A and B are shown apart, each in its own frame.
Chain A
């Protein structure tokens, strides 16, 4: 059981880390810059926030299958495949929430920084810092999506005992076998885990008390 918990954390934290690495810069860019076709990009992003996990699962599956374009990586039915699927699901969420937070920052701050001769990259960092509460929320949202994922990780991970079985897929399996007691225990544990990780993320944020 502890092994499943550790793996769940490894997979979902890795996924949210990678998703943040892509999603936060993307969201910041979208939140501070104007460009043609931005409306279209935003529509795609909002669609992505509601991406059906099984569609992502199918996509990653076909991509990683031996007959797929990335088959040579030998990644289907591995934890890495699960990280990939969860990351793809979390990126739009992280980017979307970050964008909202960044675009809500007072325009005067951006203007002043640009006036001071700051580059767009520097402005981006300033805006992220100003919008740090929203950015943390975006990471939390991405983590929530990653750790609660079932369909996609079941498809690309295969729910292999001791290798790709995580808490959500274990709950599915135990319910399938009629072991409701164990399924409930895992469910409560999953909730607790999510709570602890979110709490840690919140506490890592020093300015939280003043910003709320």
Chain B
């Protein structure tokens, strides 16, 4: 009776020691000296832009940038709890409020592109086809509402949803609760997929749409080629989390990241990003000058 019992104890003890050693090993091995937590939107991460921009910065400064790809609303909420060091987001109103309430500093506009209305190629609401194309995005939204065609909203507090509501408000409409108004509660990719499956309209950032286009049965309906709509401006800003609010944040590297994103070489990289795959640039650099 005695022998097997002690061997069992020895075995479980050995497993435990090995396990703790293993955990200690991978926790320590995977922790480089410094990390910078960058909370950002799914669009910049999914479009692959950060994958091109960040590695040289990481090498240069011997640190690791940990990218949290979430919606703008969530990114700001993470930073408000002091769980991120820097932000790259796209909801000017929310950003200004974030900076005003003392959570963020050094808000800098990095690049912009455009939001776009996409929908079924048949365009049942008639916003982008035929002679009577919608003159602006508010009338495009009005036509969707009047025709009661399905529309999918993000509904996740993202910058895209903020923009969507700005347009509904300007059009004097409140689609909440309407039968044709669906709320996905998901990121841009799944929302586009849902719109495609349901043959619905949706508002999207251009880069995510172009990246997913081959898999979608949706057409870019507004704005038309070579036309811009100031209301559809999609401006990405970098913000450092205020070290006065959270003394533990990695402010030095956050500041360095913002300076890096604004450097001429990187701004040129942003402009040329995606030109090999798409017919037009995905982002236009802003060199720190916010449009609004």
Contact = CB atoms under 8 A, between A and B. Distances in A.
Contact of B187 (A13, A76, A176): A176
Contacts of B23: 14, 17-18, 80, 83
B69 A159 contact: yes
A201 to B, nearest CB: 12
Contact of A163 (B9, B30, B82, B190): B30
Contacts of A80: 23, 27
Contacts of A78: 27
A159 B193 CA distance: 21
B4 A129 contact: yes
A10 B26 contact: yes
A66 interface: yes
Contacts of B8: 125, 128-129
Given A67-B82, A176-B187, A10 B212 contact: no
Contact of A67 (B16, B81, B190, B193): B81
Given A122-B5, A176-B46, A176-B187, A163 B66 contact: yes
Contact of B66 (A14, A17, A77): A77
Contacts of B4: 129
B193 A178 contact: yes
Given A65-B81, A77-B66, A178-B215, A14 B5 contact: no
Contacts of A197: none
B83 interface: yes
B5 A66 contact: no
Given A21-B16, A176-B187, A178-B215, A79 B5 contact: no
Contact of B212 (A65, A158, A178): A178
A14 B30 CA distance: 15
Given A14-B22, A126-B5, A128-B8, A77 B83 contact: yes
Interface in B215-249: 215, 246, 248
B189 interface: yes
Given A83-B23, A160-B67, A178-B193, A129 B15 contact: no
Interface in A1-28: 10, 13-14, 17-18, 21
Interface in B6-23: 8-9, 15-16, 19, 22-23
Contacts of A128: 8
Contacts, number: 77
B64 A77 contact: no
Nearest to B213: A178
A178 B83 contact: no
Interface string B46-72: 100000000000000000101111000
Contact of B15 (A17, A163, A164): A17
Contacts of A76: 83
Contacts of B83: 65-66, 76-77
Given A77-B83, A160-B66, A125 B9 contact: yes
A108 to B, nearest CB: 15
Interface in A170-184: 175-178
A14 B15 CA distance: 11
A158 B187 contact: no
A161 interface: yes
A83 B81 CA distance: 22
B89 interface: no
A18 B23 CA distance: 10
Contacts of A122: 5
Contacts of A13: 19, 22
Contacts of B67: 160-161
Contacts of A163: 30, 64, 66
A6 to B, nearest CB: 9
Interface of A: 10, 13-14, 17-18, 21, 65-67, 71, 74, 76-80, 83, 122, 125-126, 128-129, 158-164, 175-178
Given A79-B30, A83-B23, A163-B30, 18 more contacts: A14-B23, A17-B15, A18-B19, A21-B16, A21-B19, A66-B246, A67-B82, A74-B248, A77-B37, A77-B68, A79-B27, A122-B5, A125-B9, A158-B68, A159-B69, A160-B68, A176-B42, A177-B189
What 9 pairs between A and B have smallest CB-CB spacing? Answer: A66-B82, A17-B19, A176-B189, A160-B66, A178-B215, A158-B68, A67-B81, A14-B23, A65-B81
22 contacts: A13-B22, A14-B22, A14-B26, A17-B19, A66-B82, A76-B83, A77-B66, A79-B27, A80-B27, A83-B23, A126-B5, A129-B4, A158-B66, A158-B68, A160-B67, A163-B64, A164-B66, A175-B190, A176-B187, A176-B190, A177-B211, A178-B212
